[in-house]
């Protein structure tokens, strides 16, 4: 070992679901000449420029994985559209500008498949991001995320910066947000079935159960983000998704959670609640060209592991 730190990777949003998964993968593949720093909002509120500057000054990163965001499921998005837009625009603007000022060699940011146009053809691919407005249900969040792609291209054009982004589908796994009002469907259903089983009450799934989603495990995404940081050379983003054939309905998802808990009670569908976007089927053709042999965690296995993690960590899990 030379004793000289070659690579200092700053992970914003390091305390979230994806951030924890990156920590796990980094610990598994320890590399002695790399320093990894995982930030939470307690280290710096990245929507505030001075706090963002202070954290860059402190760590002087050579590389940034930018995960920090105001994040939430359908119902949180419906409620706080403006906050999602404003806070995410601020965080993204501050992180990318400080990366430029501190000569960061590469930034990988995280988009989401909800940023694609609502009225479109399927499957979605990387060329279609700006082709029309996103679904109204997450308009603020989606537009802020879309602007990361715009910023990546502008920073490259004007300053030659090497900023890119990944576009994951719906995600899940340990350290997710299991809060019923704020979180996504899978942690929400896990929390609901846990409580229903404990109390002998029915489970209520929100909406019709008909919408379709592709789910990626946090650990799979973590491996792919690290690969993107090390190997991916394009400014244009890359979709990180399971196959189109692996898309499932929310009803099928709920049945898998019920099975993982061995829950025998009643399952009710509350159709007065919004379904959100019907589908956002994404293509992984580009990913497959780069990594033809990458294997995603099968959804049933991933759900079982997440359920077991939730039961074991019930007291401390975010909920
Ligand atoms: P998460 O678990 O909710 O974590 C969010 C992270 O952002 C936390 O570390 C949080 O810090 C940090 N953060 C929030 N506001 C901040 C602020 N003002 N200043 C500094 N840090 C702040 O989210 P996740 O699921 O890991 O998501 C990671 C990335 O993936 C996000 O960019 C998200 O948009 C994207 N994504 C997520 C999904 C999904 O289904 N989860 C799907 C597609 C894309 P604290 O812990 O201190 O609050
Ligand atoms: O995961 P989710 O909130 O996100 O909801 P989206 C997916 C589907 O699950 C919707 C249904 O059709 C909901 O009606 N659902 C059923 C539930 N039961 C529940 C429940 O208990 N909780 C939740 N949350 N949903 C988000 C976007 O959309 O996806 C964000 O709003 C982000 O911007 C994220 O992109 C990945 O897939 O609908």
Ligand 1 centroid–CA 18 distance in Å is 8
How is the chain split into domains, by residue range?
7-173+215-243
Handedness of CA 111, 112, 116, 120 (dihedral sign): positive
Q: Which of 12, 15, 16 to mutate to test the pocket of ligand 1 (most atoms within 8 A of CB)?
A: 16
Task: Say how many C-beta atoms besides its own lie within 10 A of residue 67's C-beta.
Answer: 24
Query: What pLDDT was estimated at residue 1?
Result: 43
* For the chain, the helix, strand and coil percentages under 3-state DSSP, each to the nearest 5: 45, 15, 40
Ligand 2 centroid–CA 211 distance in Å is 9
Tokens describing residue 104: 């960061």
Give the chain's radius of gyration (CA, Å). Answer: 19
Ligand 1 in contact with 69 (CB < 6 A)? yes
pLDDT > 90: percent of the chain: 97
Higher-pLDDT residue of 161, 1: 161
Pick the CATH number of 7-173+215-243 from 3.30.930.10, 3.40.50.720, 3.40.50.170, 3.30.450.40: 3.40.50.720
Whether residue 287 contacts residue 227, with contact meaning beta carbons closer than 8 Å, is answered with no
Res. 58: pLDDT tops 70: yes
Distances (CA, A) of 7 to 36, 59, 61: 8, 11, 8
The pLDDT tens digits for 259-308 are 999 999 999 999 999 999 999 999 999 999 999 999 999 999 999 999 99
Whether omega before 222 lies within 30 degrees of 0, making that bond cis, reads no
The pLDDT tens digits for 186-238 are 999 999 999 999 999 999 999 999 999 999 999 999 999 999 999 999 999 99
The pLDDT tens digits for 17-57 are 999 999 999 999 876 689 999 999 999 999 999 999 999 99
**In the beta sheet, which residues pair with residue 63?**
9, 106
């Amino acid at each position: 070992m030379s004793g000289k730190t070659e690579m200092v990777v700053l992970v914003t949003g390091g305390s979230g679901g994806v951030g924890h998964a990156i920590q796990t993968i980094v610990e598994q593949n320890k590399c002695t000449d790399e320093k990894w720093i995982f930030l939470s909002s307690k280290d710096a509120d990245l929507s505030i420029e001075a706090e963002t500057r202070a954290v860059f000054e402190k760590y002087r990163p050579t590389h940034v994985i930018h995960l920090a965001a105001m994040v939430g499921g359908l119902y949180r998005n419906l409620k706080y559209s403006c906050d999602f837009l404003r806070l995410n625009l601020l965080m993204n603007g501050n992180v990318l500008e400080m990366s430029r000022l501190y000569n960061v060699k590469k930034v990988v940011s995280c988009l989401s498949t909800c940023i694609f146009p609502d009225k479109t053809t399927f499957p979605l691919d990387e060329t279609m991001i700006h082709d029309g407005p996103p679904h109204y249900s997450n308009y603020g969040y989606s537009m802020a995320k879309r602007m990361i792609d715009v910023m990546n291209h502008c920073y490259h054009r004007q300053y030659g910066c090497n900023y890119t982004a990944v576009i994951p589908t719906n995600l899940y796994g340990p350290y997710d947000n299991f809060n019923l009002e704020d979180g996504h469907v899978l942690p929400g259903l896990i929390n609901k079935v846990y409580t229903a089983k404990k109390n002998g009450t029915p489970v209520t799934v929100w909406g019709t159960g008909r919408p379709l989603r592709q789910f990626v495990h946090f650990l799979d995404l973590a491996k792919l983000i690290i690969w993107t940081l090390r190997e991916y050379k394009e400014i244009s983003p890359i979709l990180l998704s399971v196959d189109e054939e692996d898309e499932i309905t929310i009803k099928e998802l709920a049945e898998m959670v019920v099975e993982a808990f061995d829950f025998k009670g009643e399952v009710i569908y509350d159709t007065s609640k919004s379904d959100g976007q019907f589908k956002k089927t994404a293509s992984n053709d580009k990913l497959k060209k780069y990594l033809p042999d990458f294997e995603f965690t099968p959804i049933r296995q991933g759900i079982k592991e997440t359920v077991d993690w939730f039961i074991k960590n019930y007291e401390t899990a975010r909920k």
